[in-house]
Structures are given as C-alpha cells and as structure tokens.
Amino acid sequence: MGDFVPLEVHSVNVSFESEYSKENKYKFIYGEKEDWRISGIGFVICQEEKLVVASGYHIKIFSINSIKDELVKPINLGNFRNEINCFSFRSDGKLIAVATKGGECDIIDIQTRSTLRRLIFEGESLTAITFSKDKSKIIGGTTNGKLIVWDIATGDKLIIKDIHNDIIKSIVSIDYEYNLDNNDIINNNSSIGLPKDTFATCSYDGTIRLWCITKISNSSLNKLSDDKFELESIKEYKHEAPVECLKYVTPGILASAGGTSVKLWNIKDKEENQSPILMNFCNFGRTVTSLDINGDIILAGSLDRNLSFLNIKSFEVLNSFHFLSGIQGVAISKSAKYILIALEDGNWICRQKSVTLSNNLKKQDKYGHSNKSIIRTGTLRYFRRGRNSKPDISHIKINAPKKKITQLDRLLKAYAYGKALDLALNISWLHVLTVLETLSSRGALHIVFKDISKDKLLSILKMLSRSIGRCNPSHYCIIAEAIQHILNESNWQKLFPLNSDISKSITEITDAVKRLIHKVTLEIQQHNILKELDGMIELILSNYNNT
C-alpha cells in the first residue's frame, strides 16, 4: 500500500462571458410597485453600493446588505416641487443632480440630504442631465432640443443653444478630448490641444452628436472680465430611428438604443469613407428603451418585455430574461452582482447573481474539508488509492459530464425555429409555449410565422382552443404577441390560393377562429364569476367580523 499521490488538476480560468450565461442566473431578492411612473433607476457607490429608484416626486436610495443579500430601509429624497424626469450622479457618488418637469435642477448632497443649489431654466422641462467631466458644470437638455450648461459654483448659465430638432433623451460625458484641428481623439495625458469637456447627446430626431465646451479667455482684453465658454460641434451620427438611450462603452465607442436596434459607434475613426457603425444588434421585437454597461457586456431592455445581455466582443446574446410588462429602464451594479429592472406597469425588480459552481467548489468548512452538498449529482469523483480509507480534498478530481440536450433544444440551438415549432406541436402545448417564449426572448418570433403554412396555422389554432384554459397571465402575453405576428407576417394569398379549394381553406380557418373566440369568451365569463364570488366572500367575512 502506498501513500496518496495528489492528482494535479490545472484550474481553468472562467471566461468573462460565462458569468452572464444562463447557468449563472439572477435570482429575485426584492421588488416594489410605485404609485407613479418610474422616471429613473441606477446604482451608485458612495462608501458602499447603493440602489436608486426615482418616481413621481420622490427618490428612494437603498443600501444593500451583502451578507444577508437584502435591501436596507431606504433614504427618501422628497422635497421636489415638480415631478422628477431624470437624475444623474457625480462620478464620486457624493452629489446627485435631479431634473424636474418645471425646468429645475437640484444639486443634493447624498450624506446630508441637503440641497446645495437649485438651477432653474424657466419655460421648458429638463429631460436629460449629467455632470461634466471636470465636475464643475451641469449639462442639461430640454423637450425642445435646447442645451443648457450651468456653473455649479455660481449657478450661472454658461451656454444656451439649440442643438436638436426634438426632445433630448440622453447626455453622456466622454473621458476623451478632441483635437479640433485634426478632428481626432487624443488621450487625456497628451499635451496636444487645450483641455475640453467632451460629451454626446441623442434625441428623438434620430441623431447622435458629439460636442465639446471650450473656454475663451478674455485676459488679453480685460484681466478682470470673466471667462466665456462656447459649444463646438465635433461629429454627428444618424441612428435612423428616434434614439431613446446613449451610453459610453469604452474609449472611442458609444452605444445607442433606438427603434428595434442597438448600435455601437466608433467615434474615434477619422476616415470619412469608413462606416462608423461597429455592430448593429437588431433582434428586438419592439422599441429598445434603455441600456447599461458593465465591461464588455451591454444590458438592453425593450418594450417586447425582454432583457438581453449583449457581448460587444463576440457580438452575441449571452442571456435574456422575460417579464410580464415592457421594460422601461435597466441598470447593473459595478460588481455585476445585482441588476435592476423598471417595468411599464410601475413595478421595479432587483435581482442578484447566483453563486457559480466554480466558487462553490472552493468553499471549505473549519476542518479544511469541502462541503459535500455542493458537489452536484452526475459528477465523477475519483482518487488514487492509499493506506487510508478517506481521501483528502486535494486528492479528489471532479469532472462534470456534458449535459444531454433534447432534440427540441438541439433544433433551437441550431436556429431551426420552424422545425422546433413543428416538433413542439407534436409533443404538447407546454412545449409550444416554451418554444414561443424562447423565440420571443431571441426576437425571432416573426421568423416562424413568416409564410406559415395552412396546416401549421390550423394546428396552432386547434391546440390553442383546447389548452386556453390552462394558461397563466404570462402565457397570454406570449399568445397575444404570436397572434400579432401571424396577422402581420403571414402570406394570406398563400394561405387562401385562387383555386377550387379556397372555400374549404377559408371554412377550416374560420371554424378554428370561431372555436377559439368561444373558448376565450367562456374563460372571461368564468373570471367574472370568480370575481363576483370573491366579492361575496369578502362581504360575508366583513359582516361576520362586525357581529
């Protein structure tokens, strides 16, 4: 009998993308429903990571208890005279700028919750706000496309200029400086050119524009006169749709969301004949409303109720979540541990990333042994025999076997959406719903129903009429979206050919639709009866409590 010989197992570095894959899901930890429309969400680091939600006339700032994975009772900022439109934090997280519909912008200290300064632009509502790169100015945009630059120290308006033809939706500061003579980007540490505040704006007029604030010194004329500032235009890009959101990704790259696409722009390219568009993510069913950035990952939320994780290096969708309502805003923490989602119906949800298997395997108890419960079933554990009956943890090698995927998953993985739907129709209604939900999250639901055959349409309508009573509210959203794509994408001339069988085709489809309408009517009547029964029970209980 020999001694134990440890097996040398080389650790494999976990890829950055795998942290956002479907295996590493985000679990629900907290959520609320606001009485007002949610005007903004986000994360900020001020001594600790905090979560921020703005709606109506109030802003809630939650602290995150990382030990218990829960949110602490929030701090409320609520002394605003008008409804909040947007907010922005300074880069150090100590100050917050809050813009309202009355044209006011309040600068608030987070620690003391006191208003340091109130900036006012009368006559128009502020729709976008941000701090300048040097932290000394506030840059705001209005509903009519005007740009206002304030000096925080004095409260004076340095610049007022019309820069867009429609509402300004987003303003972002850029950590680069432009050399205007060469129309190129230079590094901050470079000695070329004068220091300038560079930022980008986007609007519903479909344009993205880059600007810089330059200082004109009047010392040569009058040493006692104040310095003046002017706004210089650098570049302009056309998104070809009203732009909802704009984010600064990495040096030289901007991300914009507008229409049903997310585009990446190369803003440091000085060649005019080369397209500035690096990538165009266009697999969204409805308007993309919000973006957020973490490293090479872009979070994109849209009105089709899907939240997507996009990789700007591999240009692929890593993961997606489906919700019961359209997404109005998304945010991800700097540590990528938490994500925040704001929905159209006034609900907001905070989710936390689950601990990965690679992290679980490193956990040990006080005796140095690993927790056996964290080793999942189906793994292989083996070691070289020795004189002792129990091996040490360093002698164990763990191999996770490959997961077996079904034929349906294999078809979805191969992008054979039509064949996947045909297979699901032959299995069960739940499989059909799963396929429809997967296609909706990928933005490919319209592909299946494009040029759909008569037999497949009849199979879907018959199965839907048989199984409509077993659907929950989330299924109703998917079914409504599928029917909408059937009406928009189907080739009705192909479904009803000009021959002798046209009356038969129309009769079959019409009968299937009538049966479906009858089933839906019965379901609505049953829901109404249940509501009346619920009201009667509540009335009986209230009378019983009074007696």
Residues whose CB is less than 8 angstroms from the CB of residue 413 and which lie 6 or more positions away in sequence, other chains included: 405
Confidence of residue 478 (pLDDT cuts 50, 70, 90): confident
- Beta-carbon contacts of 155 under 8 Å, excluding residues fewer than 6 positions away, are 117, 118, 119
Other CB atoms within 10 A of residue 296 CB: 15
437 and 513 in a single domain? The answer is yes
d(CA 190, CA 196) in angstroms, rounded, equals 12
* pLDDT classification of 154: cutoffs 50, 70, 90: confident
- Whether residue 43 contacts residue 332, with contact meaning beta carbons closer than 8 Å, is answered with yes
In a domain, 381, yes or no: yes
Q: 231 versus 22: which is more confidently predicted? A: 231
Could you give the C-alpha distances from 282 to 57, 259, 317, in angstroms and in order?
35, 9, 11
Q: Per residue in 513-543, pLDDT tens?
A: 777 778 778 877 877 788 888 888 888 887 7
- Local confidence band at 175 (pLDDT 50, 70, 90 cut-offs): confident
Q: Which residues contact residue 3 at a Cβ distance below 8 angstroms, ignoring those fewer than 6 apart?
A: 386, 387
In the three-class reduction of DSSP (H, G, I as helix; E, B as strand; rest coil), residue 79 is classed as coil
CA distances from 54 to 34, 114, 255 (A): 9, 17, 24
Tell me what pLDDT residue 18 has. 47
pLDDT at 499: 53
Asked if the structure places residue 237 within a domain, the reply is no
In a shared domain, residues 421 and 516: yes
Q: In the prediction, which pLDDT does 374 show?
A: 45
pLDDT band, very low/low/confident/very high, at 322 (cuts 50, 70, 90): confident
Domain total for the chain?
2
Task: Work out the pLDDT band at 504, boundaries 50, 70, 90.
Answer: low
Q: How confident is the model at residue 130 (pLDDT cuts 50, 70, 90)?
A: very high
> What order do you get walking across the sheet with 288-294 strand by strand?
288-294, 297-302, 306-311, 316-322
Query: 149: how many CB neighbours lie within 10 A of its CB?
Result: 21
The verdict on 437 and 459 lying in the same domain is yes
Which neighbouring-strand residues pair with 312? Answer: none
Q: What percent of the chain has pLDDT over 70?
A: 75
Last residue of a domain, one of 356, 376, 399: 399
Inside any domain, residue 425: yes
What is the model's pLDDT at position 138? 92
Domain boundary among 355, 376, 399: 399
Q: Is residue 350 included in any domain, yes or no?
A: no
203 within domain boundaries: no
pLDDT tens-place string over residues 218-275: 554 454 446 688 888 888 899 988 999 999 887 788 999 998 889 998 887 655 656 7
- Residue 487, domain member (yes or no): yes
CA distances from 42 to 93, 322, 348 (A): 12, 20, 11
This prediction has a pTM of 0.63
pLDDT for the residue numbered 464: 81
Q: What integer pLDDT is reported at residue 390 of this predicted model?
A: 59
pLDDT of 476 > 60? The answer is: yes
| Weakest-pLDDT range from 244-258, 382-396, 483-497 | 382-396
Residue 428 within any structural domain of the chain = yes
pLDDT of 200:
92
Q: How far apart are CA 314 and CA 476, in angstroms?
A: 34
Domain co-membership, 418 together with 379: no
> In the prediction, which pLDDT does 441 show?
77
Q: Do 413 and 505 belong together in one domain? A: yes
Taking the C-alpha atoms of residue 170 and residue 254, their distance in angstroms, rounded to an integer, is: 12
Backbone angles phi, psi at 447, to 5 degrees: -70, -40
- Reduced to 3 states (helix: H, G, I; strand: E, B; else coil), residue 530 is helix
Shared-domain flag, residues 457 and 481: yes
**Candidate ranges 140-144, 269-273, 309-313; pick with highest mean pLDDT:** 140-144
- Residue that finishes a domain, picked among 375, 399, 423: 399
Q: Clarify whether residues 373 and 434 are in a common domain.
A: no
| Residue-level pLDDT at 398 | 53
Q: What is the pLDDT of residue 547?
A: 65
The average confidence (pLDDT) of the chain is: 76
Assess whether 411 and 525 both reside in one domain. yes
Same domain, 381 and 456: no
8 A C-beta contact, residue 254 and residue 208: yes
348-381 pLDDT, tens per residue? 999 888 754 444 444 444 444 444 444 444 444 4
> Does residue 384 sit in the same domain as residue 453?
no
Asked if residue 351 is part of any domain, the answer here is: no
Per-residue pLDDT for 500 more than 60?
A: no
484 in the same domain as 457: yes
Which residue segment(s) compose the domain that 381 sits in?
A: 367-399
Q: What is the pLDDT of residues 392-451, one digit of tens each?
A: 555 555 555 566 778 888 888 888 888 888 888 888 888 888 888 888 877 777 788 777
DSSP-assigned letters across all residues of 18-31:
GGGSTTSPEEEEEE
Rounding to the nearest 10 degrees, give the CA dihedral for residues 306, 309, 311, 315.
-20
Q: Are residues 393 and 503 in the same domain?
A: no
